[in-house]
């Protein structure tokens, strides 16, 4: 049996917790999962909850790790890379970054070396094991390393590889920010139903179950979203009337513009790091 790699998570936040939880649930060897953080209370929490190794030194732990998963905020990435520079002068662990806006070129510049890097753009439902993650590997990532990175992120949901790094800006706008769009839609549906006479609890329950049911139908069906919509909206019926109101109000264009603006903001943020 092939020995499992040592995976070091730098930054003991929510995303690290969801990934580690998924790995443990999938049977990954706990002794091969390490985590570092500047706050002792976070390390104690991870040690107690998962029974994994914790370290206070990023540098010392990185020297023995096969995979580094960088789970720090984008603004903390450059000083972290400067700290890890010496590690990449010797062994070359696979680097996985989940920081939005930080390109592989940024990381290579800050590390002062050419190395294997995978960028991952997960979303918050990963906390429930229902995440959607876009992945991009630079040219130095081997097929074996791609498989390792994919298996890590698959522990919290689905994964999709991007052929071009700039496609992650679209992923950020779609699935990265996407949960908030659906939360807004559900919020509006619940509030509207309350105004029409339903109690808050009833409106909420029906809204959430309807959203869940629609998503499951789309996932488990082999027909397109357009066909599913048409099956619900019979000619001259109630649903068609509501959909016509949405279309005449510019709903489709509004959604398209929202994704476009989110993508543009993702690009803007990445350019901020070009100057550093």
109-130: pLDDT as tens digits: 999 999 999 999 999 999 888 9
pLDDT of residue 1: 44
pLDDT of residue 133: 97
Q: What pLDDT digit, counting tens, does each position of 198-233 carry? A: 999 999 999 999 999 999 999 999 999 999 999 999
Strand partners, 68: 8, 95
Residue 54, phi then psi, degrees to nearest 5: -125, 150
pLDDT of residue 273: 87
Q: What is the CA radius of gyration of the chain?
A: 22
Percent of the chain with pLDDT over 90: 88
pTM across the whole model: 0.90
- Taking residues 150-158, report their average pLDDT: 93
Cβ atoms 52, 34 nearer than 8 A: yes
**178-269 — its CATH code?**
1.10.3730.10
Domain with CATH 1.10.3730.10 in the chain: 178-269
212 by DSSP, 3-state: which? helix
User: How many angstroms separate the CA atoms of 133 and 15, rounded?
Assistant: 12
**7-167 — its CATH code?**
3.40.50.720
Q: Which tokens sit at 67?
A: 């995979």
What is the DSSP code (8-state) at residue 125?
G
pLDDT of residue 276: 62
pLDDT of residue 2: 58
Query: Which stretches within 160-249 are classed as H helix?
Result: 167-171, 178-195, 200-220, 225-232, 238-248
Strand partners, 34: 8, 53
Residue 164, phi then psi, degrees to nearest 5: -125, 140
User: How many angstroms separate the CA atoms of 65 and 5, rounded?
Assistant: 8
Cβ atoms 151, 133 nearer than 8 A: no
Q: How many CB atoms lie within 10 A of CB 16?
A: 22
The side-by-side arrangement of strands in the sheet containing 117-121 is 53-55, 33-36, 7-10, 67-70, 94-97, 117-121, 131-137, 157-161
224 by DSSP, 3-state: which? coil
Q: What pLDDT digit, counting tens, does each position of 241-276 carry? A: 999 999 999 999 999 999 999 999 999 988 988 766
Cβ atoms 68, 93 nearer than 8 A: yes
Domain with CATH 3.40.50.720 in the chain: 7-167
Which residue pairs from 209-214 have beta carbons closer than 8 angstroms and sit at least 24 positions apart in sequence?
A: 211/182, 211/185, 211/186
């Amino acid at each position: 049996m092939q020995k499992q790699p040592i995976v070091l998570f730098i930054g003991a936040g929510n995303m690290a917790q969801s990934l580690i939880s998924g790995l443990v649930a999938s049977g990954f060897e706990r002794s091969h999962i390490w985590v570092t953080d500047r706050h002792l209370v976070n390390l104690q929490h991870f040690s107690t909850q998962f029974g994994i190794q914790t370290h206070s030194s990023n540098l010392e732990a990185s020297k023995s790790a096969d995979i580094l998963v960088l789970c720090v905020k984008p603004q903390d990435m450059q000083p972290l890379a400067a700290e890890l520079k010496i590690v990449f002068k010797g062994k070359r662990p696979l680097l996985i970054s989940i920081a939005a806006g930080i390109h592989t070129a940024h990381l290579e510049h800050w590390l002062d070396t050419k190395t294997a890097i995978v960028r991952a753009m997960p979303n918050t439902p990963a906390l429930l094991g229902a995440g959607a993650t876009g992945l991009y590997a630079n040219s130095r990532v081997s097929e074996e390393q791609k498989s390792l990175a994919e298996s890590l992120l698959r522990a919290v949901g689905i994964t999709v590889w991007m052929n071009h790094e700039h496609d992650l800006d679209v992923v950020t706008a779609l699935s990265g920010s996407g949960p908030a769009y659906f939360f807004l839609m559900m919020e509006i549906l619940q509030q509207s139903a309350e105004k029409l006479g339903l109690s808050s609890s009833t409106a909420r329950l029906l809204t959430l179950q309807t959203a869940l049911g629609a998503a499951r139908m789309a996932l488990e069906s082999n027909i397109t979203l357009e066909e599913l919509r048409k099956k619900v909206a019979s000619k001259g019926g109630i649903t068609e009337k509501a959909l016509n109101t949405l279309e005449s109000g510019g709903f489709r264009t509004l959604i398209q513009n929202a994704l476009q603006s989110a993508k543009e903001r993702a690009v803007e943020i990445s350019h901020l790091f070009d100057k550093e």
